[in-house]
Structure 1
Amino acid sequence: MGKLGRFACIFVPMALTIASLICLILVFSGQLNKNMALQNDLYFFKADTKDFTENPDVLENSNLDNVLLQALTGAAKSKDLKDFYQVGLWNYCEGDTDDKNKDTVTYCSPRKANFWFNPIDVWELKNTTAQQIFPDKLKNGIDAYHKVSKWMFSAYVIAICLTAAELVVGIFAIFSRWGSLVTTIVSSAQTLFIVAAAVTSTALYGALAGTFESALKPYKIKASLGTKMLSVVWLGVAFSIASGFFWLISVCCCSGKSGHKKVVVEKTPYTYERVASPYLGHRDQGNELHNMPHSGTTTSGSAYEPFRHERV
């Protein structure tokens, strides 16, 4: 196998790490460019206000909700209330929906670290009494979202940095198992943060969508999760877990050393070997056994003859 086998062993986790990095890059790019369809489709949360109505069917508290209704109606008439709002990691985008239900993004807010979507600011309700009488459930949901969003953003940033570091350290894993061990440690940390970010964003925006849906349902304002964005996030998690597994395998296998070793042939215990004759002293042991005289014989020419006993 040698170095070629070691490279083949490292190729799989390296490819999975690259795939996880691509998924994170897509998550970071969501809602950054209003002119790119792919980025427009990647959002965590969407508020659909195109069906907003000035005549809600049910009002739990007519006095307070009427104030909110008037504020939303004023925003709708002044065109401050758009047809939809899509929330990404860095910012949000808004736009209009035509008669064929085709969404067109018209504006994307500037990028901001630790971004969170504040409907009071976005819907221009900050200077109205509506911000004071938002339903308690909606206010609590938005406050919780605001607090947790900072941790979520940090988790994604750390995850993408560790993924890049995993690729760099993974290069050294080609040459030794020690490199694989270090890469496995970095990969484990990366997996921890990307899983934490995925769980947080799924739970956070799921709760926010549920809060919007229940609190603003009477006004025909709908909320939903961005399934495409969450699919990309969890696909990145799957790639991360798989890469960590194969990095661990590379620590135990594929050492990179050549598998060719010098073969030593040992003699079997039954191999016949010539034993030097005690009658020949230090005579060359290369002579053939049949040329050696046997006890009780004498040589004559090239043949052996028995000893002749002569009388004196």
Structure 2
Amino acid sequence: MGLPAVLRSRLKGGSNNNEKHDPSSTSSPTTHDQTGTMGAEASTIASHKRATRMRRNFALSASFAYLLSWIFLVLVLIGNTRNVAVLRGIYFFKLDLADIIPTSVPNASLINSIAQSIGLHDFYQVGLWNFCEGYIGDIGITYCSPPQTLYWFNPVEILMSELLSGATIALPTQVITILDVLRITSQIMFGFFLTGAVLAFVLVALSPLAVSSRWWSLPLAIVSFVEMLLLVAASIVATAISIAFKYAAEAQSDLNIHAEVGVRMFVFMWLATGFSVWAFAVHSGMGCCCTSKRDLRIGRRVMRDGRGVRRSIQ
């Protein structure tokens, strides 16, 4: 028996309302799945960071070491190039000729005054690109030679040009040999310091790449070794030249010549070398130690989540 049309309409509307307001809709399970997936991804990212934290810290320390090394190398490169407050105190060695004639010689003061009046300066200090000269006291530096690529300090040439107005003198064979060795070693030192500064600047940006994979450690370690070797060799050569100049100048008993080694220059170049040695050691160690991101990705290393459960990342 059929129901009245009005009753059928009310029953149908009630059924539609029940379907519309049903709290157990099909979107609820999807929302729970998405929330669980996002939580798993966040946990995985946090676990990645914990697993690679040591490698990341070492890579950043190497990058920071190269930054400090580059800063000190810049000071070495620009030292003594201009007569300004900071740069004029950065030099490899300094020759003091203020009292070149000993006081034991008759009229020594007069002879020294004559030497100064015809061009001899009280001191000559040498940097990587040039030399500066001047007088002791309030006058200070009066002239710095223009920066020159592959510069080397030739004291004989400078003194002859200033004292003897360009006249030439016959030099012993031993002196010529020493000057040739000085020229070669000075130019090698120049090239090594300049190349080392460029490599240090490049490695500041490249060092963090070692976090992603061990494969980056090999090329970085090779470049780091070259940079370290250049700085060690350049610092040793600079030290040897400066000390040799000091002892050679003061060994002349008939002349009252003094020489001093530039402490600031030595501190800067050996600090730059020390930071490079540390960075090379870090890159060498990361070739076999510390988990990288690639190790986790290919499953070579397993990591622990926040509850200490070992998880392998595919």
Normalising by structure 1, we get a TM-score of 0.69
Partner of 1:259: 303
Deviations 1:252-308 (A, max 9, x none): 2131348346959xxxxxxxxxxxxxxxxxxxxxxxxxxxxxxxxxxxxxxxxxxxx
Match of 1:181 among 202, 213, 218: 218
8 A Cα contact 1:138 1:212, kept in partner: no
After TM superposition, list the pairs within 5 Å mapping 1:207-218 onto structure 2.
Answer: 207-215=244-252, 217-218=253-254
After alignment, is 225-234 or 49-58 more displaced?
A: 49-58
Partner of 1:86: 125
After TM superposition, list the pairs within 5 Å mapping 1:34-49 onto structure 2.
Answer: 34-36=83-85, 38-49=86-97
Match of 1:239 among 264, 271, 275: 275
Q: Letter of the aligned partner of 2:246 in structure 1?
A: A
SS at match of 2:254: helix
8 A Cα contact 1:95 1:106, kept in partner: yes
8 A Cα contact 1:54 1:73, kept in partner: no
| Residue 111 in structure 1 maps to residue 159 in structure 2 | no
SS at match of 1:46: strand
| Residue 228 in structure 1 maps to residue 264 in structure 2 | yes
Deviations 1:57-116 (A, max 9, x none): 49xxxxxxxxxxx8x8754222x2111111000011112211xxx672222110001111
Unaligned runs of 5+ in 2: 1-46, 297-301
- C-alpha distance in 2 between matches for 1:210 and 1:139: 18
Partner of 1:295: none
8 A Cα contact 2:123 2:134, kept in partner: yes
- C-alpha distance in 1 between matches for 2:277 and 2:234: 14
Q: CA deviation at 1:198?
A: 0.7
8 A Cα contact 1:9 1:254, kept in partner: no
Q: CA deviation at 1:135?
A: 6.9
Partner of 1:12: 61
Distance 1:133 1:181, change over 3 A: same
Distance 1:139 1:223, change over 3 A: farther
- C-alpha distance in 2 between matches for 1:236 and 1:83: 32
After TM superposition, list the pairs within 5 Å mapping 1:135-174 onto structure 2.
Answer: 139-174=176-211
Distance 1:135 1:210, change over 3 A: farther
8 A Cα contact 1:141 1:208, kept in partner: no
8 A Cα contact 2:61 2:279, kept in partner: yes
Q: CA deviation at 1:55?
A: 6.3
Q: Letter of the aligned partner of 2:267 in structure 1?
A: S
Partner of 1:309: none
- C-alpha distance in 1 between matches for 2:171 and 2:249: 11
- C-alpha distance in 1 between matches for 2:240 and 2:121: 26
Task: Choose between structure 1 and 2: higher helix proportion.
Answer: 2
**Which has the greater radius of gyration?**
1
| Residue 249 in structure 1 maps to residue 288 in structure 2 | no
8 A Cα contact 1:57 1:218, kept in partner: no
8 A Cα contact 2:95 2:258, kept in partner: yes
Q: Letter of the aligned partner of 1:85 in structure 2?
A: Y
- C-alpha distance in 1 between matches for 2:278 and 2:192: 20
SS at match of 1:219: coil
- C-alpha distance in 2 between matches for 1:240 and 1:182: 16
Q: Letter of the aligned partner of 1:87 in structure 2?
A: V
Q: Letter of the aligned partner of 1:259 in structure 2?
A: M
- C-alpha distance in 2 between matches for 1:116 and 1:74: 28
After TM superposition, list the pairs within 5 Å mapping 1:24-63 onto structure 2.
Answer: 24-36=73-85, 38-53=86-101, 57=105
Q: CA deviation at 1:32?
A: 1.4
| Residue 76 in structure 1 maps to residue 116 in structure 2 | yes
After TM superposition, list the pairs within 5 Å mapping 1:119-138 onto structure 2.
Answer: 119-123=155-159, 124-125=162-163, 127=165, 131-132=168-169
